[in-house]
Each structure stands twice: as C-alpha cells, then as structure tokens.
C-alpha cells in the first residue's frame, strides 16, 4: 500500500450568473468513504496547465450536470436540448480523453457517462422522449427522493458494474432526459433499463473507464451497496498512487 491515498480530480458545476464553481453533496464524500482524496478541478484552465494537473492525479470523476452542446457530436442543438455549459464541456472532454490516453481510472456519473461517450466519438439522444418514438419509455426523470431507486437495470455479467453488485437486476435512481445513442468505439454497454435505454458503459481495454447514467453518490449513504462503484474506482486509482 502506498502512503498516499489516490488523488481524484472531480469536475465542478458552474453557475454562470453568480460566477460560482461548486460541487453537490455525495461525490467528495463517496470518494473519501472509499479511501480516496477528492479535489475539485478548476474551470478556465489553460490546456497545458490542465495536462500538468492531470499528471499529478490518480483518477478522474466527471460529475452530473447540464446537457452537452450537440455540436460536439456533430448535431444542431434541438429545442429540447437543455442548458449548456461550455466551460464544463471543454474541461470534461479534455479530462475524458486524457483518462483514456493515460490509462488512469475515470468514473462518469449521469452527465459524466454522456461526456465520456461524446469525448471518444459517440453520440446522444438530445431528449429520449422526443427522439425515441417506436416504443414506450419508462420514467427517467423521477419524482421521488433522490436516493430512492425508481427503475431497475439488467447488468451484463462480468462487467465492472457486475463486480460491484454481483447480480443481474439492480434498482437505481434516475434523473436524465438524455441518453447514449451510438456508443463510442472501444466501449461496451454494460446495463440497460427494460425500455432499452443505456444505463452504463465501460471501455473494453481500460483498467476502469466506467460511466453510469444513475447517481450512486445520492444513494450510497442510504444503501451501502452503491458505494461499491466508488470503491472499485478508488482501488483502480490506487495503482497510480502506489508509485509516488
Ligand atoms: Mn434512467
């Protein structure tokens, strides 16, 4: 064991009106509970400085947040695409590509799974309810306490998500109106809801490049099994802190 806990860069929210950078509850606490050290990443950083920061980090967490500029996956922004944060888009796409390039662990949560997919060449539904018309979709924007699981997913055996829950049927929360459409090259779909919406992906050849569409950071305090994603992520990052 290293004397250093794995250092995890976490991407922030940004309030453009108040010019405030912040993070919601659950992410930093989950990293700490799993044995890591979370640090909030700066927005508006020059790329060479950001690359320098990435070199010192052992892993990356892309947090939940607003919608991605559809231009980043080659589409016009449709009326139902929501709020866009160009500062987050540029920081997080850089981080996602850096994680894949360097082999360092990355966990993408909600917006994070979408960023991971788009950064590596995949696409999104800008609004699943407007763009998927050939079937009835279940509710993915829940009206229930944030920690409460309102839909279940079918998990692929042997996947990273499987190693966390160790079973096929897992029930999770849901706060999204967008989802992955075309999966980026190199990534595997590891779970879906009953309506076929992609709820998690992982890179086939990376030690831990995992995206989940749900919010484990809002669930683990109520139900410890959901801390497992953080634990597996921090375990993978510990390999990189061990050499320091
Ligand atoms: Mn969902």
What tens digit of pLDDT does each residue of 57-115 get?
999 999 999 999 999 999 999 999 999 999 999 999 999 999 999 999 999 999 999 99
Give the confidence band of 126 by pLDDT, cuts at 50, 70, 90: very high
Output the CA angle 182-185-191, nearest 5 degrees. Answer: 60
151 Cα–ligand 1 center, Å:
7
Q: Residue 216: its pLDDT value, please?
A: 98
110 is catalytic: yes
Any idea what the CATH number is for the domain that residue 149 is in?
Answer: 3.40.50.880
pLDDT, tens digit (0-9, with 9 covering 90-100), for 178-216? 999 999 999 999 999 999 999 999 999 999 999 999 999
State the pTM of this model: 0.97
Q: Residue 143: its pLDDT value, please?
A: 97
Residue entry with tokens 């790329």: 47
25 is catalytic: no
* Residue 68 counted as domain residue: yes
* Residue 2 counted as domain residue: no
176 Cα–ligand 1 center, Å:
6
Q: Which domain holds residue 234?
A: 7-242
How far out from the chain centre does Cα 238 lie?
Answer: 19
Query: Which tokens belong to 224?
Result: 């410890």
Provide the domain count of the chain. Answer: 1
149 Cα–ligand 1 center, Å:
10
Please give the share of the chain, as a percent, with pLDDT higher than 90.
Answer: 97
Enumerate residues 6+ apart whose C-beta is below 8 A from 181: 122, 123, 124, 125
211 Cα–ligand 1 center, Å:
13
* Residue 222 counted as domain residue: yes
* Residue 1 counted as domain residue: no
Marked catalytic residue, from 110, 140, 199, 203: 110
Marked catalytic residue, from 54, 206, 217, 226: 217
């Amino acid at each position: 064991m290293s004397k250093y806990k794995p250092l995890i860069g976490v991407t922030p929210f940004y309030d453009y009106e108040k010019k405030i950078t912040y993070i919601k509850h659950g992410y930093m606490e989950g990293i700490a509970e799993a044995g890591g050290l979370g640090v909030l990443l700066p927005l508006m950083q020059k790329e060479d400085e950001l690359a320098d920061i990435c070199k010192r980090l052992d892993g990356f967490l892309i947090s939940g947040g607003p919608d991605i500029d559809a231009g980043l996956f080659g589409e016009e922004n449709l009326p139902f695409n929501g709020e866009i944060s160009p500062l987050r888009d540029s920081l997080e796409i850089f981080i996602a590509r850096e994680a894949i390039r360097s082999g360092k662990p990355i966990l993408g949560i909600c917006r994070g799974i979408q960023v991971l997919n788009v950064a590596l060449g995949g696409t999104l539904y800008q609004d699943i309810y407007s763009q998927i018309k050939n079937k009835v979709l279940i509710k993915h924007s829940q009206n229930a306490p944030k920690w409460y699981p309102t839909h279940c997913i079918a998990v692929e055996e042997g996947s990273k998500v499987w190693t966390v829950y160790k079973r096929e049927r897992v029930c999770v929360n849901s706060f999204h109106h967008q989802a992955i459409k075309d999966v980026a090259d190199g990534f595997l779909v590891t779970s879906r809801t009953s309506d076929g919406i992609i709820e998690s992906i992982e890179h086939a050849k990376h030690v831990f490049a995992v995206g989940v569409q749900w919010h484990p950071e809002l669930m683990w305090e109520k139900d410890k099994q959901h801390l497992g994603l953080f634990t597996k992520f921090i375990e993978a990052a510990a390999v990189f802190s061990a050499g320091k």
